[in-house]
Amino acid sequence: MHCSYFDAGRCRSCTHMGRPYEEQLAGKQLHCQTLLAGHPDLEWLPPVASQESGFRNKAKMVIGGTAQNPTIGILDADGHGVDLRKCGVCSPGLRAVFPVLAGFIRRNRLTPYDVPKRSGELKHIIVTESPDGDIMLRLVLRSEQLLPRIRKNLPELLAILPQVKVVSVNLLPEHKAVLEGDREILLTEQSTLEMRVNDVNLHLRPQSFFQTNTEMAAALYRQGREWVSELAPATVWDLYCGVGGFALHCAGPARTVTGIEFSSEAIVSARLSSDEAGLQGMDFEAGDATAFALAAKGSPDLVIVNPPRRGIGKELCGWLESSDVQHVVYSSCNAQSLARDLAALPSFTARRARVLDMFPQTTHYEVMVLLERAA
């Protein structure tokens, strides 16, 4: 894949842009195998390749420029907007809405936030597309000043973009380098975006996390389901469960599955998906994964962990070591923290691993490892 923005030096976010894709994937496989070289019993399954372009289902775009001439993309080193509305890693469905959103900003005088001057209102737009082509739109504002104007003119936008099903305003009053604030104001009757992944219908609320590559997320959940089905545990914990992707894929008639996630919004989504599917033996609770494990009276047969980049850490590793857990399915977006966590789990043997290229054109990838308690 080649990108005119990258070639012109306007955006360097995709550090592997222009490299042959086969070379990218082989490099990620080698990187991961090198980091986990201390596990000689590890069987490496073939890596899972992604589409090279158009794979992102979510775009977090900074709004720059002026209300009359807004930019949708990133900021340069001086804090000025760089327009990337034709970004090739975004899905065609996302790219189709950017010009319409630019027109909405212009017609309704939604003043972009000027970072150097600390003035203006509209900071970011966060757009997510479902596998069915439906869209969730979030507008990140500094204050409620533009809210009445957005409410009044939203029907006009929805008439032009009928695929937009969920719209919200997120408030980020602070001047700091984050994408969103804590307060979300829903503007549509529909509150969740349905994400149909494999045979599971997930529900994504505005502040819930979901993998940015739907195709790779589906492969990730299929691999987890395959390993769990093969082991047939009676009890499963899905720690860092998000909207329930792994947990819902691993549901079974003779199995209890407990999902733990810090985000209460994600837990609402997971429960909705479970109830809608009529699943039995499912329990989702909002809370800290490590605190939940440390406070539990017993332990399950199998634990699934899908932590943020920092990994699961010493405390949870220590609990797993002292528990009766027989198997762990570890899904990691950072092989370095994964390697560190595996070193803190000497009672477990890494049996199988698989690299999934969640983030083409970058150095990042997802890796899944199946751990078994040593005899």
Active centre residues (catalytic): 333
Exposed/middle/buried for residue 196 (C-beta within 10 Å: 0-12, 13-18, 19+): middle
- As a whole number of angstroms, the distance between CA 373 and CA 277 comes to 33
Torsion sign (Cα): 338, 343, 345, 348: positive
Q: How far apart are the first and last CA of the chain?
A: 47
One-letter amino acid for residue 245 of the chain: G
Neighbours of 362 (CB within 10 A): 16
CA distances from 104 to 69, 97, 122 (A): 11, 11, 12
The DSSP symbol for 182 reads: S
Structure tokens given for 241: 């469960």
- As a whole number of angstroms, the distance between CA 115 and CA 81 comes to 10
